[in-house]
A and B are shown apart, each in its own frame.
Chain A
Amino acid sequence: LSVTPSTTRSSGSPTGSRADLDPYRTTLANGLVVLVKETRKTPAVSINLAVRAGSVCDPGDAPGAMHLLARVIDRGTKARSAEDIAEQLDGRGVSLAINVTRHLFSMACTCLAADFEAVLSLLVEIAIAPAVPQDELTLRKREVMTSIRQDQDNPAVRAVEALMALLYGEQHPYGRKIRGTVEAVESLTRERLLDLHAERFTPGAVTAIIVGDIDARLAVAVVERAFGRWHAPACPPPPPAPFAPASVRRRRVVTMMNKAQADIAYGFVTIKRSNPAYYAHWIMNVTLGQYALGGRLGDSIRERQGMAYDVSSVFDASLLEGPLIIRAGVSPANIDRTIASVDRELASMRDEGITEKELDDTRRYLIGSMPRSLETNAGIAAFLQTIEVFELGLDYDRRLPDLLAAVTVHDVHAAARQVLAPERATVVIAGPYQEP
């Protein structure tokens, strides 16, 4: 699957009757990709307009710019007031969720099937022609600055933010905060946001994902009608930013004496999603910190030692080398014991790998969980977005079991040796704690 062919092409079947996902994909003449999956479960449709305009597109001096744009983009277009948009959505029971991640700016909602055309047209208008009225910008800035200050009082957020800044450096797009800083948000102007929008919102950067009780051909026709006349030159992706991999262990404390317990974030930089070793890393992480409430880490720290309610690890390989982050919320008295337990579990997995039984269990779990993750319209939409962003192919749901089945204990051990190095771990503790 190539991402943006210049001519219209399609694959899959518009009606898709098999149990396989078999989505319908086509590229409009202007480069915009449409992905549709019909389902007949509820008379509803999930829409996701995903734009390759995540926080990696924030200008170096304006962290949080894309996030602020997300807060204000639906507050008025060249033809409609904010009130009118609000009435159109609220009146149909639709809540539009506009979310910015590192790589994507997505506008997602679920509407009744009967409202599909009206809602999609409105979303397209918002995406193409936002007005960013000054009074709206002033209000939304205040909200964002308040939420940044709320985050500053949240040990879990502080721990992960500090960890990412240490792992990647504060200038790297993964090291910066998606919401930015109070100062940066305050200084962003309407003109700057509109320029950024004009630069990054182009047809070739958009994937329209539509899942639900809607005829695929009709859905494509509606998208084509709404988006087809939109033309804008593509903008090259931001240049890859360098970062220095950790060579020593680092430890940082964010003291928050007003809190009841501490959050630990412990992590590494890993690989890109396109790395062939991705599947071995994925299985390694699930075994380490996810399988059945927290994997090996959950067994040790929660089940056997009773130290934490929340303990898990997250592996987020992406377009750039993503992190593996282990998190736990613990009493200040148990910080060192918890970190020592994490060290022990990592060293054990690095030195000995995982067992055949663990590999088999994890694999069966991941393969078996596919019907569940593809049960809802929103779940299918998320899966299609992943396929598109990482160029996994329209048959990815059929290939995934084989990709997982091909992973051996040796592959997982190799992944563990590459990533799980306590001596090079970066560890952040945020909470009611000061280094002795």
Chain B
Amino acid sequence: MEPSIRSVILDNGLKVFVREEHTAPLASVWCWYKVGSRDERPGQTGVSHWVEHMNFKGTTNIPRDRVKGIIEQFGGTWNGYTWIDQTTYFETATHDALDRMLFIEAERMARCLYHPDDCESERTVIISELQGGENDPDQLLDQELTATAFKAHPYRHPTIGWLSDLESMTRDDLYGYYRRHYIPNNATLVVVGDVDQDDVLRRVEQHFGAIDPGPAPGRIRTIEPEQTGERRVTLRKEGTTAYLKVAYHAPAAGDPRFVPALLLDAALTGAKGVNLWSSFRGQPPQRRARLYRAIVERGLAAAVSGQLMPTADPFLYTLSATATTGTPLSSLEAALAEEVDRVRREGITSLELERSRKQLQARLVFDADSITNIAHQLGYFETVADVDLFAGLPSRIASVTLDQVADAARELLGDSNRTVGWFDPLPTDGVAHRGSNDAGRD
């Protein structure tokens, strides 16, 4: 990265990264925690995400009804998300909000309230979030596929949690989890924008310096045993469209085989952003990609995509396809498997490697378009691996060889490393409409 990043570690263990970007009068503050759904025990699935929700519900010094409005006064936006390895919170606003943003994150780290009434009302909000997700057959299939692909590692359960756990967890479960994981020595603070590095570090010390560290939470150490045979899951449910997913256990972000696998994915389905957020931004350039040509251009699928995320432990490389109406899932799967096998046997061509490199390099440029995205990218990598890994990405992408991609294909795309998921729709029994013009009804 060209612009310099200042990094310090406070005495209490909080890691801080500051990067000045004077392109707009804005600042973005992110606070990352090394806690995600992989840290959850049976019976408490979904607790990381629920805790994230509770951390917007007031603190000792921010009354419940004053949470909203602080950042808005600076034209800002704020939010948070939870995934398998991480939980993160951010504010982006005009730069004069810097002190308020740091104050909010310090409060969030140390002094959230967890009022029992708020825990209860959030329980039903999260169940609504879960059910909204279940309305999407693709998401439902993804959840089942992941649970089938992993038999031991806690990556197997969905971040939102299983319904019965959401119904039974208590306020004490939530608060205890919060206290164990929300400590400065388990967090990374990232500040990017129209700020002065020295000023930021002074303010960070003021807001966070007095927060006590805690015992390192320690993570569940289960290593997923090597998969020794293909696994399959078929969902049969009313619907209009058939979906196919094929997942392979994939290298973690810090594994030297990760970047060759990124190039392999770019050749198969087109390059996308290299983190959870940016991977969703727009369609990848994929018209010349192997799988697009093999299944979309042959009319078997309306869409194809690949997902390979940087994760702390080995997660999944997932290929997804939406069958065109009338295409049997077996035909779609066979066509996809044929192309995947070809790449596994033969690797990719030098033209494909060149195109994939160019796509990934361009994407890294496009993704550095806002301070929010820059800060996200830094914090994401530091939380799942190491920020230096991100800084080294362009040169690593440039130096990957055809042999390394061929090796990645051979190791990754084997039959016995594969989990296949089908969403095979049952006919809907016609969708009933009822209407009324009854003015008095409601």
By a beta-carbon cutoff of 8 Å, the part of chain A in contact with chain B is: 19, 39-44, 82-83, 85-87, 89-95, 97, 110-112, 138-139, 142-143, 145-147, 149-150, 152-156, 158, 248-261, 263, 291-293, 302-310, 329-331, 336, 339-340, 343, 361, 364-372, 374-378, 422-423, 427, 431, 434-435
Contact = CB atoms under 8 A, between A and B. Distances in A.
B284 interface: yes
Nearest to A89: B285
B285 A306 contact: no
Given A44-B366, A306-B122, A372 B76 contact: yes
A90 B286 contact: yes
Interface residues of B, number: 81
B439 A423 contact: yes
Nearest to A376: B369
B439 A149 contact: no
A381 B325 CA distance: 36
Contacts of A304: 121
Contacts of A375: 23-24, 26, 369-371
Interface stretch (B67-75, B151-159, B181-189, B226-234): B67-75
A45 B238 CA distance: 45
Contacts of B288: 83, 86-87, 90-91
B240 interface: yes
B422 to A, nearest CB: 16
B368 interface: yes
B437 A250 contact: yes
Given A41-B23, A248-B437, A423-B439, A331 B302 contact: no
A233 to B, nearest CB: 34
Contacts of A292: 68-69, 72
B124 A307 contact: yes
Interface of B: 23-26, 68-69, 72-77, 92-94, 120-132, 134-137, 237-241, 270-271, 282-289, 296-297, 299, 302-303, 322-325, 355, 358-363, 365-366, 368-371, 428, 431-439, 441-442
Given A112-B365, A248-B439, A249-B439, A90 B434 contact: no
Nearest to A309: B129
Given A305-B121, A365-B72, A90 B241 contact: no
Given A145-B325, A250-B437, A368-B93, A93 B69 contact: no
Given A248-B438, A249-B437, A250-B436, 11 more contacts: A39-B23, A142-B302, A149-B325, A249-B441, A252-B436, A254-B433, A256-B428, A258-B239, A331-B128, A364-B73, A435-B434
Contacts of B72: 291-292, 361, 364-365, 368
Nearest to A428: B435
Contact of A368 (B73, B271, B302, B303): B73
Contact of B125 (A254, A302, A339): A302
Given A309-B132, A361-B72, A372 B366 contact: no
B137, B323, B435, most chain A CB atoms within 10 A: B435
Nearest to A305: B121
A258 B135 CA distance: 8
A95 B240 contact: no
Contacts of B358: 91-93
Contacts, number: 244
B294 to A, nearest CB: 13
B240 A377 contact: no
A339 B131 contact: no
A43 B362 CA distance: 10
A154 to B, nearest CB: 7
Nearest to A374: B24
B119 to A, nearest CB: 10
Contacts of B69: 292, 361
Contacts of A378: 369
A36 B174 CA distance: 52
Given A93-B363, A142-B325, A261 B24 contact: no
Contacts of B25: 19, 371
Contacts of B125: 302, 306-309
B68 A152 contact: no
Nearest to A246: B437
B428 A153 contact: yes
B434 A309 contact: no
A146 B369 contact: no
Given A249-B438, A361-B69, A361-B72, A143 B303 contact: yes
A259 B238 CA distance: 9
Nearest to A93: B362
A369 B76 contact: yes
A88 to B, nearest CB: 10
28 contacts: A44-B369, A90-B289, A93-B358, A93-B361, A111-B362, A139-B296, A150-B302, A154-B135, A158-B431, A249-B437, A250-B436, A251-B435, A251-B442, A255-B434, A256-B431, A257-B238, A261-B135, A292-B68, A306-B125, A308-B125, A309-B126, A331-B127, A336-B442, A364-B73, A367-B75, A375-B369, A376-B370, A431-B135
A364 B75 contact: yes
B170 to A, nearest CB: 16
B435 A250 contact: yes
A252 B132 CA distance: 20
A145 B241 CA distance: 11
Given A309-B126, A434-B432, A369 B77 contact: yes
